[in-house]
A and B are shown apart, each in its own frame.
Chain A
Amino acid sequence: AQTVTQSQPEMSVQEAETVTLSCTYDTSESNYYLFWYKQPPSRQMILVIRQEAYKQQNATENRFSVNFQKAAKSFSLKISDSQLGDTAMYFCAFIQTGANNLFFGTGTRLTVIP
């Protein structure tokens, strides 16, 4: 069975600083996808960034980037130049290629401090 672990229940960062959220996963599969989703307070969950396991290059989306270490089964999210709007719950998620079932971690609550 696939499991996704986020070991940091809460984190905080000063505005304009950089923060890294950790995620590890466990799978015996070699083909899969990894995601970071963001859930702002009282707002809908949205996709932040996606990584295909077969790609060695780390995905980036503007201020968001990942550090994907396949051998270590690690998938961390780096947020650069943190903004107040980045305050949210962040979920790491895993899906096996061809499947429909996303497995989510327990989430990290990030607070950006002005």
Chain B
Amino acid sequence: DVKVTQSSRYLVKRTGEKVFLECVQDMDHENMFWYRQDPGLGLRLIYFSYDVKMKEKGDIPEGYSVSREKKERFSLILESASTNQTSMYLCASSSGALAGMDTQYFGPGTRLTVL
């Protein structure tokens, strides 16, 4: 079974803090994704990575950056957290072998609250 893990289930930070969300997958997948999930808005893609050190912006990259130094690990960084970044953050990975029809495997999510 594919396993995607996220470093924290719940996180509380203060406005202006730098926040790191970590995601690790164990299936040697090429692609990794960070989504933000908000009620009534569904999931929105923040960034994705299709290879080590490669990244592309998604629909809502403002206020976020990412890092992928190793294939299995994809980090989401909030340089200066703000209250409007309070949300559920979901990480996902896919093999990249099937040009779009890959299944994306999701982590359990991190519920971030910024005070």
Please report the C-alpha to C-alpha distance between residue A95 and residue B31 in the assembled complex, in whole angstroms: 14
A6 proximity list for chain B (CB < 8 A): 42
Closest to A4 in B: B42
- Contact at B101–A100, with CB atoms within 8 Å? no
Q: Does B63 sit at the interface, judged by CB under 8 A?
A: no
Which of A33, A97, A106 interacts with B41 by CB under 8 Å? A106
A13 shortest CB reach to chain B, Å: 21
* Additional A-B contacts beyond A100-B56, A101-B58, A107-B42 (20; CB < 8 A): A9-B40, A32-B100, A43-B108, A44-B107, A44-B108, A44-B109, A45-B90, A45-B106, A46-B106, A50-B103, A91-B43, A95-B100, A98-B100, A100-B31, A100-B33, A100-B100, A102-B104, A104-B35, A104-B42, A106-B41
- Contact at B101–A95, with CB atoms within 8 Å? yes
Q: Does B12 sit at the interface, judged by CB under 8 A?
A: no
Q: Does B50 sit at the interface, judged by CB under 8 A?
A: yes
A96 proximity list for chain B (CB < 8 A): 100
B100 proximity list for chain A (CB < 8 A): 32-33, 95-100
Chain A residues in the interface with B (C-beta under 8 A) = 4, 6, 9, 32-33, 37, 43-47, 50, 52, 91, 95-102, 104-107
10 contacts between A and B (CB under 8 A): A6-B42, A44-B107, A45-B106, A95-B100, A96-B100, A101-B59, A102-B33, A104-B44, A106-B40, A106-B42
Please report the C-alpha to C-alpha distance between residue A102 and residue B4 in the assembled complex, in whole angstroms: 18
Q: Does B45 sit at the interface, judged by CB under 8 A?
A: yes
Q: Does B48 sit at the interface, judged by CB under 8 A?
A: yes
Closest to B58 in A: A101
Using A33-B101, A96-B100 as known contacts, say yes or no to A102 and B106 having CB atoms under 8 A apart.
no
B44 shortest CB reach to chain A, Å: 8
Please report the C-alpha to C-alpha distance between residue A42 and residue B107 in the assembled complex, in whole angstroms: 11
Which B residues from 27 to 43 make CB contacts under 8 A with A? 31, 33, 35, 40-43
